[in-house]
Chain A
């Protein structure tokens, strides 16, 4: 007892609190998602959570770690929710389970468990599944989908087929197709279709994105995340989109569209702010966020996949330790001097 070192008291803060607060910040987004897009997202969240906790328990058992302590830390739950929210909502249950188990077992525990993983588990799950199951991973529910909650669940559990009339490409995908088929149809004309594209970036989706933004602001207010990475991401994505849009508005969508389309806001506030796989120094976070924004735009508009957040984040995860090492802030008394 005598060797327990100072400080001898501390406030009630914990990893669990951080993780669960982050989960709570996702709730508005989930609510809008379920209300405006697909209620079955709730089923997917349940499937992912169960798979994540099972995978986590298995790995903890095998690694001889205290189950009670780590299983309740909330990190697996957060990973599961991010996976469910980034996968197509009507994808079959086994796809979500595969992605989740890959995230927990390979991306997280084989790298050393909580705090040791190099890559963001949710983004790894997305990247692996989109490479392995490209067709399934690009079937998004068509706008204005008329299907009951029960029918949606039947699709998820493979009891009824996913018809082409129900599923389609995302707005981002449609834009890329338009860009590649130069000149057939301009972006402004495409976006005219309010039925599909809503006011900004996809009917319904823009509201989901806004809800994520709201959750992100809540995290900022609770000091769970800092402003650096999200702001850098948004600024760099918007700046690049704005530049190309200004250059040729008939082929490129507006910055606002890009900010509210796809995984931009969930990525900005819930993925690149992941402390374990991101940068920790303030300047590092700025660089990290900015480059993710840049890569995201490039992959979205010129790459082979509809959205680029996952790949951009994974690429930058590799670079994060280097960025951190190069952006060490000066210590007390050494400001303005060479270290």
Chain B
């Protein structure tokens, strides 16, 4: 009896020591969870989640302050990925999902006030004071932050149409069920 207790205690001490050593030896610097969450967010920096940018939202999720279904650009798929990473239950998106879009400045109306340039989180608008502004479509994230800043409402959001380069093959199963029904 005593021997058994002693052996168990010894094993416990030994394993504890191993664990303790491992936690020092393999210590991970920083908070990788925030980085991992941040990597899943679409980086539109739109603030629609209520946080000033994607990273603050990631930090809030990591701390457990924010829910995972607040990011409309990420869509349902983004929620699913976050749920997967965090082992939480996937929830329906707390907003409407939005197709990809890009901002466009109506150059006939733009007065060159530079307000949108300051509002753009990713410097996707070029122009100077009293010069016409334009959106660099390839870096625009479609966050809509420039819309309220424009005093003459010359910015509009345009959906990005599907092109041959971005077209995706559809999942085959749905079509197959149709084919099966027809054959049956």
Chain A residues within CB distance 8 Å of chain B: 3-5, 66, 68-69
| One of B169, B172, B184 near A68 (C-beta < 8 A) | B184
| One of A3, A66, A69 near B175 (C-beta < 8 A) | A3
Say how far A255's CB is from chain B's closest CB, in angstroms: 48
Q: Is the CB of B184 within 8 A of A69?
A: yes
B180 close to chain A: CB less than 8 A: yes
Q: Is the CB of B184 within 8 A of A3?
A: no
Q: Is the CB of A66 within 8 A of B184?
A: yes
Q: Is the CB of B170 within 8 A of A66?
A: no
- Alpha-carbon distance between A4 and B169 when the two chains are bound, in angstroms: 11
- Alpha-carbon distance between A107 and B125 when the two chains are bound, in angstroms: 63
Contacts of A5 in B (CB 8 A): 169, 172
Range, interface on chain B: under 10
Say how far B21's CB is from chain A's closest CB, in angstroms: 32
- Alpha-carbon distance between A68 and B180 when the two chains are bound, in angstroms: 11
Contacts of B172 in A (CB 8 A): 5
Known: A3-B175, A4-B179. 9 other contacts (CB 8 A): A3-B170, A4-B175, A5-B169, A5-B172, A66-B180, A66-B184, A68-B184, A69-B180, A69-B184
- Alpha-carbon distance between A3 and B171 when the two chains are bound, in angstroms: 10
Chain A: CB-nearest residue to B172: A5
Q: Which of B149-184 contact A (CB under 8 A)?
A: 169-170, 172, 175, 179-180, 184
Can you give 11 contacting A-B residue pairs, CB < 8 Å? A3-B170, A3-B175, A4-B175, A4-B179, A5-B169, A5-B172, A66-B180, A66-B184, A68-B184, A69-B180, A69-B184
Q: Which of B73-111 contact A (CB under 8 A)?
A: none
- Alpha-carbon distance between A69 and B175 when the two chains are bound, in angstroms: 17
What secondary structure prevails in chain B residues at the interface with A? helix
- Alpha-carbon distance between A69 and B172 when the two chains are bound, in angstroms: 19
Contacts of A66 in B (CB 8 A): 180, 184
Say how far A319's CB is from chain B's closest CB, in angstroms: 28
Contacts of B179 in A (CB 8 A): 4
- Alpha-carbon distance between A232 and B170 when the two chains are bound, in angstroms: 42
Say how far B162's CB is from chain A's closest CB, in angstroms: 14
Contacts of A68 in B (CB 8 A): 184
Chain A: CB-nearest residue to B184: A66
Say how far A61's CB is from chain B's closest CB, in angstroms: 14
- Alpha-carbon distance between A68 and B170 when the two chains are bound, in angstroms: 28
Contacts of B175 in A (CB 8 A): 3-4
Chain B: CB-nearest residue to A69: B184
Contacts of B169 in A (CB 8 A): 5
Contacts of B180 in A (CB 8 A): 66, 69
- Alpha-carbon distance between A68 and B175 when the two chains are bound, in angstroms: 20
Q: Which of B30-47 contact A (CB under 8 A)?
A: none
- Alpha-carbon distance between A66 and B184 when the two chains are bound, in angstroms: 8
Chain B: CB-nearest residue to A66: B184
Contacts of A3 in B (CB 8 A): 170, 175
- Alpha-carbon distance between A66 and B180 when the two chains are bound, in angstroms: 9
Say how far B178's CB is from chain A's closest CB, in angstroms: 10
- Alpha-carbon distance between A3 and B175 when the two chains are bound, in angstroms: 8
Contacts of B184 in A (CB 8 A): 66, 68-69
Contacts of A69 in B (CB 8 A): 180, 184
- Alpha-carbon distance between A5 and B179 when the two chains are bound, in angstroms: 13
- Alpha-carbon distance between A5 and B173 when the two chains are bound, in angstroms: 12
- Alpha-carbon distance between A3 and B169 when the two chains are bound, in angstroms: 8
- Alpha-carbon distance between A269 and B169 when the two chains are bound, in angstroms: 41
- Alpha-carbon distance between A66 and B182 when the two chains are bound, in angstroms: 12
- Alpha-carbon distance between A323 and B169 when the two chains are bound, in angstroms: 33
Chain B: CB-nearest residue to A4: B175
Say how far B33's CB is from chain A's closest CB, in angstroms: 30
- Alpha-carbon distance between A49 and B40 when the two chains are bound, in angstroms: 53
Could you mark each residue 43-80 of chain B with 1 if its beta carbon is under 8 Å from any beta carbon of chain A, else 0?
A: 00000000000000000000000000000000000000
- The 7 A-B pairs with the shortest beta carbon distances in the complex, nearest first, are A66-B184, A3-B175, A3-B170, A66-B180, A68-B184, A69-B184, A4-B175
Say how far B94's CB is from chain A's closest CB, in angstroms: 34
